[in-house]
Each structure stands twice: as C-alpha cells, then as structure tokens.
A and B are shown apart, each in its own frame.
Chain A
Amino acid sequence: MEVMQLVGLGLVASILVVILRDQRPEIALLLSIVVGVLVFLFMLDRLAAVLNVLRDLAVRADLNLAYLGTVLKIVGIAYIVGFGAQISRDAGEGAIANKIEFGGKILILVLAAPVMVAVLQAIIQILP
C-alpha cells in the first residue's frame, strides 16, 4: 500500500535529517527538500487522475473550461508557493517565507481578477 511506503519514507528521512542536523545543517535542509519533492512526485500521477475526473465532470456539466483552467492554475501556484515558503521557514528564514507568500498572493489575485469581473457582469445582468 502506498500509505505504508509514504509513512516509512517520511520516518526514515526525518531520522536521517536529525542525524545530519547538528553536523551539517545545510545538507539536512537539502535532504528535507528532497523528501518533500519525492513525496509529491510519488503522488503526482494520482493527482493528475483526480484532475482529469474533475475536467470530465466540468465538460459534462458544460462549464466554461477557462474558469476551470484558472482554478487549476491557482491551485498549482498555491502549491508551489506553499512548498517554497515552508522550506524557507524550515531553514529559519521566516521573512523570506512571508515574501514568497506575498508574491504568491499577488499572482493568484492577478489570475482571479477576470473571474471576478465575469461574476460581477453576470450579477448585473440578473438585476432588473
């Protein structure tokens, strides 16, 4: 079962990181980055399958695929920003983490703006 693999990998990796932390903190940080990336790559094909199911539902409900694309982009940006911010926070750099999150929020706002405009226009049309 993948769950066992996942938990086992996480535990072994955290033990190795603790071993390395006092002698070589920088390599311990790199090791924790590698574990995070490996877990995500391991889960990526299942995530892609879920996203395909979501897309099929959207097509069947003849939703506008542009909005689904925007939602997917926002989720992707949120994940990458979260990944980077968490790593820099682990390294003890809270300020850098906040800057990364700030930039990510701006990017998401930029993506979400057209959707908001479309929603407002729809509402205006409904009003008498």
Chain B
Amino acid sequence: MDVNLIFRIAGIGILISVFNMVLKQAGKEEQAQMLTLAGVVVVLMMVIQLISRLFTDVRSVFQLW
C-alpha cells in the first residue's frame, strides 16, 4: 500500500496552486500557466505508470489475453 504516492501528488497539487498565486501576484500570468501545465504533466506521468501496472496485473489475474 504505497500511500506516499497519494501524498506526493496532493503535495504537488498544493504547491502548484500556491506558486500560481505567487506568480499571479507578481504579474507573470504566462509563467503561472506554464507551471500548471508542468505540474499536470509530472502527475500524469506518475498516474500513467500506475495505470499500466494495474492493467498488467488485471491481465495476469483474469488471463484477459
């Protein structure tokens, strides 16, 4: 039960929203958008690895193909 993955993703999300606020205050709107995109891409990479692990496990348990 690797719970730390959940906390890592939640931490990234909170960090990004805080940085976005700071960047918006500083008037750098476009950097804020870039930061949001970068954060989503990082979290997406983690999620994709986890989903591929899920699919291989389900394939092995149910002998899907």
A27, B63: Cβ atoms closer than 8 Å: no
Minimum Cβ distance to chain A for residue B11 (Å):
9
Interface bracket on B:
20 to 34
State whether the Cβ of A38 lies closer than 8 Å to any Cβ in chain B: yes
B17, A23: Cβ atoms closer than 8 Å: yes
A41 to B1, CA, bound (A): 8
B13, A73: Cβ atoms closer than 8 Å: no
User: DSSP class of B's interface residues: helix, strand, loop or mixed?
Assistant: helix
Minimum Cβ distance to chain A for residue B30 (Å):
18
Residues of B within 8 Å of A69, CB to CB, are 63
Interface bracket on A:
20 to 34
**Chain A: CB-nearest residue to B51:** A37
B residues apposed to A, CB below 8 Å: 1-3, 5-7, 9-10, 12-14, 16-17, 20, 36, 39-40, 43-44, 46-47, 50-51, 53-55, 57-59, 61-64
